[in-house]
Amino acid sequence: MNPEDRIKELRVALHKHNHSYYIMDAPTISDYEFDAMLKELEVLEGQFPEFHDPNSPTVRVGGGITKSFATVKHEYPMLSLGNTYNWDELADWIRRVQKAAPENTFVCELKYDGVAIGIRYEYGKLVQAVTRGDGTQGDDITNNVRTIKSIPLQLNGEYPERFEIRGEIVLPHAAFNALNEQRAEQGLPLFANPRNCASGTLKLQDSSVVAERGLDAYLYFVLPDGILAATHSGSIKAAGEMGFKVPRPEHKFIEACQTIEEIQAFIEYWDIERKNLPFDIDGIVIKVDSYHTQEELGFTAKSPRWATAFKFKAEKVETQLNSITYQVGRTGAITPVANLEPVWLGGTTVKRASLHNQDQIELLDLHEGDLVYVEKGGEIIPKVVGVNTAARTSDQPRVEFISECPECATKLVRKEGEAQHYCPNEQQCPPQVAGRIQHFISRKAMDIMGMGNETVQLFVSEGLIASPADLYNLSYDKIIALEGFKEKSVTNLLQGLENSKQIPFDRVLFALGIRHVGATVAKKLAKHFGSITALMDADEATLSAVDDIGTVIAQQLVSYFNNPENVREILRLVEAGIQFELEQTEAITEGPLLNAKIVVSGVFETMSRNELKALIEKLGGTNVGSISAKTTYVVAGEGMGPSKKEKAEKLGVPILDEAAFLKLIGQ
Ligand code: IVH
């Protein structure tokens, strides 16, 4: 089969499997087979750029960068919905509609708590995705939306030539929690809730980061130019047949209702059941089903008269603010926490709630001793959402954010553009010291058996340790002298420290707790540089040239290694016998590929591309993605793209075929 036909065939098959997996929840092939087909398509597309398709299934992995999002005017304004929390108001609305249209059928749907999106299709292909913005115009975030696997890039069956469909992009709880866990590990501020996170994610410039976040989408509104039925529910069903993820009656996400009682039953069902949904909803939307009736009812200036939303009350209680504690994290980030008069909320007793940062405290205009409203939303930690100002007396002073670290009295800093305050006293501030050591010994880092967070706390307060390197100076005598330690526990702990000397370099690098350097980034850096000395020698430009290392991480690394205290600490760890080099690179100090920057292109006879790349790294070379003047060699297999060849020739970069490459490395 010629490559063009194979590319087409793979695209059709992958679109189909994608639909079965992400929309119908009924996979038709194994993940392995899917990945293999995707890989094959990626390789072919690399070789034959002339068959580029912006809607190829390969765009799901992202990679497109949007420098700034273009503003796009909406063809139809993006209106909001009237809403109520109140049964009587809802009943009034229902009666008004029934009076105007006695035969009317209502449709009840979930009110997804996410980010509204309008997506345009032309001839079955996704062409543009735009945010709500101010309702009249929004941001073009097409690149990012293309990475969301439940949004079809290519439609099936019958569809209108050109039309728009709207819906909501949501971040499921599992993805939200995993992301926040990862951020906590990296010492980064957490996202407040899935909606904020979804909205922030969609505004990221790098779509490959968007692709990894696990966004999902439900479509619930077909605009007039795309209507293929007489009713809203008919349109939604038709949209489902085109391949969209739409609410389906069998999930009870959409239901036809005739009476107030039926609508009320649907709302009550979901007010309870929403706790079991994998994403947030904040109410129920009730719509008039017939388009004809919708037209008769029309719009007010802001919203349609043919639909309304019944919003769920977030579980909220009032309680007294007793005090505020300022917590200092391992990276020095300051988090204000409200200590509350204990109160029962959503199945647990709440004593503390997050106040996030100074801006949040100012926004609430919080005064000491205030009666505050505490709410439990999608997030696990409850938060203070408001103040009962009517109950406030004149002798309650306004809450002033602290200016000094509560632990070490160092003056706090707040970087421009950041919401969080930091304590800059990294080396001596006790929670930062303990936090850093606790991170160092943790399971994913040095995994030191026989030692826990309390032990670290104790050793720090007893003055035995002040940095990770001090751990390796601990002696049997010093520890056994402390209360609560027996012979067995001390020998276990010392053995645990001894064993940690075998932990590989990438985990040691993660264990150092450099801001933004989580486990994945540490792996990449270790693999790329091979040793701490090579990493320390790298400047910002070299660092940010590494795949997946952005300027933020690069700057952070440079400033970390510019701090003499950090360098001293690393030297002490080296002396203690900790691994600061990758094992396999130890041997390479010479050879034809040492420090060579190599671009691999095409397919090879004697090995796969990945095997070839691994071989290059093993021999001390580095794989780079694109050809530049700095490239040492291009290793070209069968079917290298013509544009790559041209570029290499223009820049005078030697092109090696498979045989020449093998000869060079002496195989
Ligand atoms: S229909 C003309 N259906 O809630 C209005 N909206 O607060 C068409 N929303 O703007 C919107 N779930 O962003 C509709 N099932 C649903 C919805 C929904 C969430 C959002 C949407 C809307 C906002 C109004």
Looking at the structure, tell me whether residues 509 and 621 fall in a common domain: no
- Digit-coded pLDDT (tens) for 106-116: 999 999 999 99
User: What distance in angstroms lies between residue 167's CA and the mean position of ligand 1's atoms?
Assistant: 7
Write down the pLDDT at residue 187: 75
Looking at the structure, tell me whether residues 377 and 483 fall in a common domain: no
Distance CA 17, CA 275 (A): 30
Most confident of 117-131, 346-360, 581-595: 117-131
pLDDT bin (cut points 50, 70, 90) of residue 502 is very high
User: What distance in angstroms lies between residue 82's CA and the mean position of ligand 1's atoms?
Assistant: 10
Q: Select from 76, 78, 81 the residue to mutate for testing ligand 1; criterion: most ligand atoms less than 8 Å from CB.
A: 81
Which of 16, 67, 111, 302 is catalytic? The answer is: 111
Distance CA 667, CA 659 (A): 9
pLDDT at 310 > cutoff 90: yes
Write down the pLDDT at residue 62: 83
Write down the pLDDT at residue 269: 96
Write down the pLDDT at residue 181: 85
Say which CATH number the domain at 534 has: 1.10.150.20
What's the mean per-residue pLDDT of the chain?
91
- Residue 457 burial (10 A CB sphere; 0-12, 13-18, 19+): middle
Write down the pLDDT at residue 347: 63
- Digit-coded pLDDT (tens) for 140-149: 999 999 999 9
Q: Select from 106, 219, 220, 246 the residue to mutate for testing ligand 1; criterion: most ligand atoms less than 8 Å from CB.
A: 220
User: What distance in angstroms lies between residue 524's CA and the mean position of ligand 1's atoms?
Assistant: 42
pLDDT at 90 > cutoff 60: yes
User: Are 109 and 284 a contacting pair, CB within 8 Å?
Assistant: yes
pLDDT, average across residues 602-610: 82
| Closest ligand 1 atom number to CA of residue 304 | 2
Looking at the structure, tell me whether residues 104 and 235 fall in a common domain: yes
Give me the amino acid identity at 435. Answer: G
| Helix spans in 404-562 (H) | 430-441, 453-461, 468-471, 476-480, 487-499, 505-511, 519-529, 532-537, 540-544, 551-562
Looking at the structure, tell me whether residues 497 and 601 fall in a common domain: no
pLDDT at 617 > cutoff 90: no
Nearest CA to ligand 1 atom 16: 111
The percent of residues above 70 in pLDDT, for the chain, comes to 98
Looking at the structure, tell me whether residues 272 and 165 fall in a common domain: yes
Residues enclosing ligand 1, CB less than 6 A?
79-81, 109-112, 116, 168, 220-221, 285, 304, 307, 309
Looking at the structure, tell me whether residues 212 and 241 fall in a common domain: yes
Write down the pLDDT at residue 415: 85
Distance CA 608, CA 623 (A): 14
Q: Is residue 423 part of a domain?
A: no
Q: Is residue 588 part of a domain?
A: no
Number of domains composing the chain: 6
pLDDT, average across residues 614-634: 86
Q: Is residue 397 part of a domain?
A: no
pLDDT at 25 > cutoff 80: yes
Distance CA 213, CA 488 (A): 45
Q: Is residue 406 part of a domain?
A: no
Write down the pLDDT at residue 511: 96
Write down the pLDDT at residue 586: 54
Paired sense of beta strands 71-73 and 115-122, if any: unpaired
pLDDT bin (cut points 50, 70, 90) of residue 204 is very high
Looking at the structure, tell me whether residues 185 and 273 fall in a common domain: yes
Nearest CA to ligand 1 atom 3: 220
Say which CATH number the domain at 24 has: 1.10.287.610
Say which CATH number the domain at 211 has: 3.30.470.30
Write down the pLDDT at residue 27: 86
Q: Choose one of 308, 343, 366: the last residue of a domain.
A: 308
User: Are 378 and 398 a contacting pair, CB within 8 Å?
Assistant: no
Nearest CA to ligand 1 atom 13: 116
- Digit-coded pLDDT (tens) for 426-485: 889 999 999 999 999 998 899 998 899 999 999 998 999 999 999 999 999 999 999 889
Nearest CA to ligand 1 atom 12: 111
111 in catalytic set: yes
The least confident of 64-68, 97-101, 431-435, 593-597 is 64-68
> What tokens appear for 418 in the block?
């950041």
Looking at the structure, tell me whether residues 324 and 467 fall in a common domain: no
The least confident of 42-56, 332-346, 373-387 is 373-387
Nearest CA to ligand 1 atom 17: 111
- End-to-end C-alpha distance for the chain, whole angstroms: 33
Write down the pLDDT at residue 95: 95
Looking at the structure, tell me whether residues 148 and 178 fall in a common domain: yes
Q: Select from 79, 285, 311 the residue to mutate for testing ligand 1; criterion: most ligand atoms less than 8 Å from CB.
A: 285
| Closest ligand 1 atom number to CA of residue 247 | 15
Q: Choose one of 454, 471, 502: the last residue of a domain.
A: 502
Write down the pLDDT at residue 587: 58
Helix/strand/coil (H/E/C) assignment for every residue in 304-371: ECCEEEEECCCEEEEEEEEEEEEEECCCCEEEEEEEEEEEEECCEEEEEEECCCHHHHHHHCCECCCE
Looking at the structure, tell me whether residues 139 and 203 fall in a common domain: yes
Nearest CA to ligand 1 atom 21: 116
pLDDT bin (cut points 50, 70, 90) of residue 376 is confident
Looking at the structure, tell me whether residues 286 and 152 fall in a common domain: yes
Distance CA 667, CA 382 (A): 63
Write down the pLDDT at residue 94: 96
Write down the pLDDT at residue 547: 82
Contacting residues for 143 by C-beta, under 8 A, at least 6 apart = 62, 64, 65, 66, 207
Looking at the structure, tell me whether residues 460 and 567 fall in a common domain: no
Higher pLDDT, 30 or 336: 336
Domain encompassing residue 631 = 597-664
| Closest ligand 1 atom number to CA of residue 110 | 15
Q: Is residue 77 part of a domain?
A: no
pLDDT at 535 > cutoff 90: yes
pLDDT bin (cut points 50, 70, 90) of residue 346 is low
Distance CA 505, CA 527 (A): 9
pLDDT at 11 > cutoff 60: yes
| Closest ligand 1 atom number to CA of residue 116 | 13
Q: Is residue 418 part of a domain?
A: no
Q: Choose one of 502, 535, 557: the last residue of a domain.
A: 502
Q: Is residue 405 part of a domain?
A: no
Q: Is residue 22 part of a domain?
A: yes
